[in-house]
Structure 1
Amino acid sequence: MTLNACQRGRRLGFFLLALIILTTVSAPVLAGPRAEVPEAVHDFGEVFEDQELRHTFIIRNTGDAPLVIKDIDPDCACTAADYDRSIPPGGQGNIILTIAPFSVLKQFAKHTEVLVNDPERSKITLTMKGWGKPTIEIQPHHIIRFQGDPGGDHRARIRFISHLNIPWEISGATTNIPQFIEFTLTPEVPGKIYVLEVKNKSREASRYQGKIELSTNAMRRPKLVVRVFGDLYPASSSSP
């Protein structure tokens, strides 16, 4: 009985030793800094194009050495970054990204690369996305092109639609090429929509370019510019 008890004791000892060795070998060793970002993508939803957009991303260090943010590289010059350079083990830091006004329109996605000293994850990509709505919408667009025979009836029509929550007005309009074009500006919906009608008045073969500048009461969009291009030559000839 004593011998069997000794044998059982040895077997138990070997088993415990093997278990300790196995546990020691299989346990993960988190040496060095480890970067974790709970939210790498932020959706602003619908925003106006004249808004400054800002979001704070959280970055955590789950390692056992300081996590260093080496550099931040946005894919757009419109994005500015402010961030914590070093994060202690077990701590967290902030990466604040700001998109300048008038830098987004319709569907957008701005990506920023964060370079860190994590040996297993040296680069993290942060994304800010959403849908940018214009404060003043220009339909169909802000460029007019007159092409063809100078004797033809060349006209264009542009609508300006305000999405502001205050009454909007265009107080004046001027052009730097009055010798080539004439225009009228009419309110379609007072305080909301204006219509600009432009007509070529040159009857001679000509090439010109210029603009129509409109003054508004919108603080962020006090000026609107419509570009006008003319390339008018008879069908039998070609422009130089």
Structure 2
Amino acid sequence: MKNSLYAALLTNLLLAATAFAAPELTVTEPTYNFGSITQGKKVQHNFVIRNSGDAPLHIKEVNVSCGCTAAKPSASQIAPGKSAEIQVVFDSTSFSGKVQKSVAVISNAGKAPNYVLNMEGTILEPLQYAPRQVNLGALKAGGSKQATVSITNRDNQAVRILSVTLTSNTLQLKTSMKKSELKPGETGAIELTFTPRPDAKVMSGYLHISTDSAQKKELTIPVYASVAK
């Protein structure tokens, strides 16, 4: 009788221990800040994940937030106390300014079966320009308005401004610039003078700045104005 009770008790203890055994996913650095990079570059980072539980950790899925990001685990199963890596590559070609991209790691972890990793930083356009649009305000017939567009070369080689043109049925353009070639880190200004065409009622168009930059062949800036009463 006693042997049966001992056996039952032992079985219950083993079942309880098995029931409480669970894998746990922990990450020392869940967010990686890559700082500032030039648009078009790729960033690669390996997130180290660890199984801090007492059962095997199974990586079921690794899902990325967009097609600009790729992620791949170094192992699909991690033993208790062991570590693996999630390699994440972010392509910055289509982005500018501050960005954050996430990677969801789906596993059998007890407390955090859906764990999110983040990559963040700032994307600098090879040619930064301002303003992003030109608002001329109110224009009188026969009058003119001036505006300035500044361009900063963030690339690692010199960039030449090849031409400045305007696509518009209602505005005419004259340009002037002191520098047609910008060295890395250098800023130049384009002086613009807009004149409305006769009988123009709604004034708008697009400014096109062509360059020899391999990364940014053309800058397109909307232009608009209203008719002064």
TM beyond 0.5: yes
Gaps of at least 5 residues in structure 1 are 1-23, 236-240
In structure 2, distance between residues paired with 1:96 and 1:135: 27
TM-score by length of 1: 0.71
Residue 226 of structure 1 is matched in structure 2 by 221
The correspondence for 1:200, drawn from 194, 197, 216, is 194
In structure 1, distance between residues paired with 2:21 and 2:151: 60
Task: Please say if residues 207 and 220 of structure 2, whose CA atoms lie closer than 8 Å, have aligned partners that are also in contact.
Answer: yes
Matched, 1:41 2:35: no
In structure 1, distance between residues paired with 2:204 and 2:213: 27
Matched, 1:116 2:107: yes
In structure 2, distance between residues paired with 1:184 and 1:128: 42
Deviation at 1:54, TM superposition (A): 2.0
Task: Please say if residues 61 and 87 of structure 1, whose CA atoms lie closer than 8 Å, have aligned partners that are also in contact.
Answer: no
SS in 1 for 2:102: strand
Matched, 1:60 2:50: yes
RMSD (Å), alpha carbons: 3.1
Q: Give per-residue Cα distances to partners, 1:41-69, cap 9 Å, x unaligned.
A: 21212322332222121222344234123
Q: Which aligned pairs between 1:64-79 and structure 2 lie closer than 5 A?
A: 64-74=55-65, 78-79=68-69
Task: Please say if residues 150 and 204 of structure 1, whose CA atoms lie closer than 8 Å, have aligned partners that are also in contact.
Answer: no
Alpha carbons of structure 1 residues 30 and 47: separation in structure 2 relative to 1, 3 Å: farther
Instruction: Supply the AA of the counterpart residue of 2:116.
Output: T
Out of 89-98 and 152-161, give the one that drifted further.
89-98
Deviation at 1:207, TM superposition (A): 1.4
Identity %: 19
Alpha carbons of structure 1 residues 129 and 172: separation in structure 2 relative to 1, 3 Å: same
Alpha carbons of structure 1 residues 189 and 176: separation in structure 2 relative to 1, 3 Å: closer
Q: Which structure's residues are more often strand, by fraction?
A: 2
Alpha carbons of structure 1 residues 102 and 150: separation in structure 2 relative to 1, 3 Å: farther
Q: Which aligned pairs between 1:86-101 and structure 2 lie closer than 5 A?
A: 86-90=76-80, 91-101=82-92
The correspondence for 1:144, drawn from 134, 144, 162, is 134
Residue 22 of structure 2 is matched in structure 1 by 32
Residue 83 of structure 1 is matched in structure 2 by 73
Instruction: Supply the AA of the counterpart residue of 1:150.
Output: K
Deviation at 1:160, TM superposition (A): 0.9
Deviation at 1:205, TM superposition (A): 4.4
Task: Please say if residues 99 and 122 of structure 2, whose CA atoms lie closer than 8 Å, have aligned partners that are also in contact.
Answer: yes
Deviation at 1:195, TM superposition (A): 2.3
Task: Please say if residues 45 and 131 of structure 1, whose CA atoms lie closer than 8 Å, have aligned partners that are also in contact.
Answer: yes
In structure 2, distance between residues paired with 1:185 and 1:112: 48
Out of 53-62 and 81-90, give the one that drifted further.
81-90
Gaps of at least 5 residues in structure 2 are 1-13
Alpha carbons of structure 1 residues 198 and 52: separation in structure 2 relative to 1, 3 Å: same
Tell me which structure has the larger Cα radius of gyration.
Answer: 1
Task: Please say if residues 69 and 84 of structure 1, whose CA atoms lie closer than 8 Å, have aligned partners that are also in contact.
Answer: no
